[in-house]
Structure 1
């Protein structure tokens, strides 16, 4: 005869069964929602086909998410100034006005002379870093724009930028007029290593009220607003366009608007998808939870955790697919590398596993005394999960003599960026596999190797 369960054992068994049933119910919801989302993709595709062609110039030439090109585009756009009906128009001044309206920043706009607004791209600092975009005016104020589409922050990067501008580009009495814009796809905050929250989030911090986290889509919406304003109605006037040929300017604005919104996933297709996903969630999940009286924070957290797990599994399936083109590029580099140099070429399997498990993988590895040279790829965990590639020279943090020796010699490689990280110092170059040539990358690596071999004993 089977032994009867105690009261405690019965309670435990009941809880286990309830938990298992709850998990089954959640998995059923996930399955139903997933099936519905496949339908969503089909619906959105059909609806998009009814619209005029959605052609993004930057996306078609693989430059949509390229930080350097995007920074060039924005900086050059801010440089645009012209006269219309005796009115002087400057996009830099309009941008300063936008910052004043959005964040209350003070620029004394009424007294600003457009010709004296200074725009600098890749402004070099003493730390061998470069400020993406700098806007200054007669040492009276400065705006630092750091454009981070995918890359990570460097060690004390934004703090160093602030200190450099304070030291070199602004008068002492205007130190409180240094502002920082952190421009990202989804309002990502800078890392604590780059800029301490104490400096911009706490009252009394030198950047409190002077730091703005802006997503790229906001730039798009701002420009959309400009096109709708009465003072820019001439851009929409066919007669004026034919007379003065403003068509190119309007076309450029439209492309920039779409580009900035697309970087943040807020173009027409994304908006349509969001609307349909909201409908599916409401029909398949939210309504049922409401009817059961279970629409609570803790219950939604469980579903968020479940969807996160599903997303992680999908990402693991995606990584080997998008890594293939980087593996191919590595093999091309390997063809041109000097075979007299000792280096290690990692296997495809190891590279893919490391990208999946550690978000970074070394493809090719060299060592010269204490210095490492790596060609590697990183996986960026963002909404638009993607892979990037670069080559690095890694210098032990404690060895200042090596850092000093390299400081002058490395100038022969102007494309190398310097990062002072907490665990080491490094020089790096972001490889663009769509535009860089494997032979040129291999040649640069060979020269770096010979330089390090000669200089570092």
Structure 2
């Protein structure tokens, strides 16, 4: 019969074996991250002016950008071009929304920012055409919905007697509005007032839509350069489009590439072993008790070495003074080891790093 000690040793051997296997899987993740970061460093420089004004984190600025972009309209070779109308066409092709595009006059498309409702709430972006239709765009990058926010928007626009009302919830990762803001009964149930007229759109989809515009033959004129008189030079518009595309993709993607790679490795090596909530808790506890403790210990070690390096540089005048004091004591016939002890430089530096004060003599 095995003793308790033998069972304990066996259990610990098994635990250590499992931990080693777990760390091997983590190492694979680490190597993949390093490889991705190395690839990123080799990319051409990706400078975006919108990063400098932090559009990724400010919904208002991003809404201003999108609304101003939709306002752009001009003529080229006798053809009227309106990005608002192009956006309506995109919504028709993507969601089957009806706008009667052939009969829309560009000059009658109304675009408003921060449209104020009766309850003093503000619609981020509003697109309206006479009384035929209205499109409500709520841009949510990080903020949460307010109470009855989207329902209030709908009711306000409905009171303006528009024949058709559509709503877009624009987010980084296609999340749904909260139930408190807009009940699912109002847009998911067949026959409800927003059924088939509500769309979740990611910022990345705006980016892909604009990318498609740049590739179309009818917009090839954006590549033309009239260097002599600059009358038909569209390089600024093309540059703006490229920057907006990059900005919209960045809002949705963030660090998703790295995250996706890590998730794939975890699915192949760890997630396949997880079947229950208890399994998940075991891995979480393993991180908390073993992995995080080791990482915290390593962090403390690095911080101590950093402190030592700074102290060693700054403490030299004090070490010199300590040696001069020791020489003075020696000249007065005091004996080191009997009357006083002089610490080594390394011990003084360690004392400063560990306790925050020196022990010299």
TM exceeds 0.5?
A: yes
- Tell whether the 8 Å contact from 1:32 to 1:284 is kept in structure 2 after alignment: no
Per the alignment, residue 253 of structure 1 pairs with: 241
Q: CA deviation at 1:24?
A: 8.0
**Structure 2 segments unaligned to the other structure (5+ residues):** 296-361
The 5 Å alignment of 1:151-300 reads: 151-168=143-160, 170-171=161-162, 174=163, 177-238=164-225, 244-265=232-253, 270-271=256-257, 273=258, 276-277=261-262, 280-281=265-266, 284-285=269-270, 289=272, 299=275
Q: CA deviation at 1:221?
A: 0.7
Q: Give the distance between the partners of 2:130 and 2:287, measured in 1 at CA.
A: 50
Per the alignment, residue 143 of structure 1 pairs with: 135
Q: Give the distance between the partners of 2:201 and 2:286, measured in 1 at CA.
A: 29
Q: CA deviation at 1:308?
A: 8.0
- Tell whether the 8 Å contact from 1:119 to 1:136 is kept in structure 2 after alignment: yes
Q: Give the distance between the partners of 1:61 and 1:225, measured in 2 at CA.
A: 26
Q: CA deviation at 1:78?
A: 0.4
Where 2:32 maps in the other structure, the secondary structure is: helix
- Change in 2 beyond 3 A, CA 1:224/1:23: farther
The 5 Å alignment of 1:43-82 reads: 43-82=35-74
Q: CA deviation at 1:50?
A: 1.7
- Tell whether the 8 Å contact from 1:184 to 1:214 is kept in structure 2 after alignment: yes
Q: CA deviation at 1:197?
A: 0.3
Q: Which has the larger radius of gyration?
A: 2
TM-score, normalised to structure 2's length? 0.69
Q: Give the distance between the partners of 2:250 and 2:282, measured in 1 at CA.
A: 27
Per the alignment, residue 344 of structure 1 pairs with: none
Q: CA deviation at 1:265?
A: 1.3
- Change in 2 beyond 3 A, CA 1:250/1:164: same
Length, aligned pairs only: 284
Per the alignment, residue 378 of structure 1 pairs with: none
TM-score, normalised to structure 1's length? 0.55
Per the alignment, residue 85 of structure 1 pairs with: 77
Pair 1:96-2:75 in alignment: no
Where 1:203 maps in the other structure, the secondary structure is: coil
Where 1:150 maps in the other structure, the secondary structure is: coil
Q: CA deviation at 1:281?
A: 3.9
- Counterpart among 89, 104, 114 of residue 112 in structure 1: 104
- Change in 2 beyond 3 A, CA 1:308/1:187: farther
Spell out structure 1 runs of 4+ moving beyond 4 A: 20-25, 27-30, 238-243, 300-314
Deviations 1:19-53 (A, max 9, x none): x979984x666544433333333222221222210
Q: Give the distance between the partners of 2:287 and 2:70, measured in 1 at CA.
A: 38
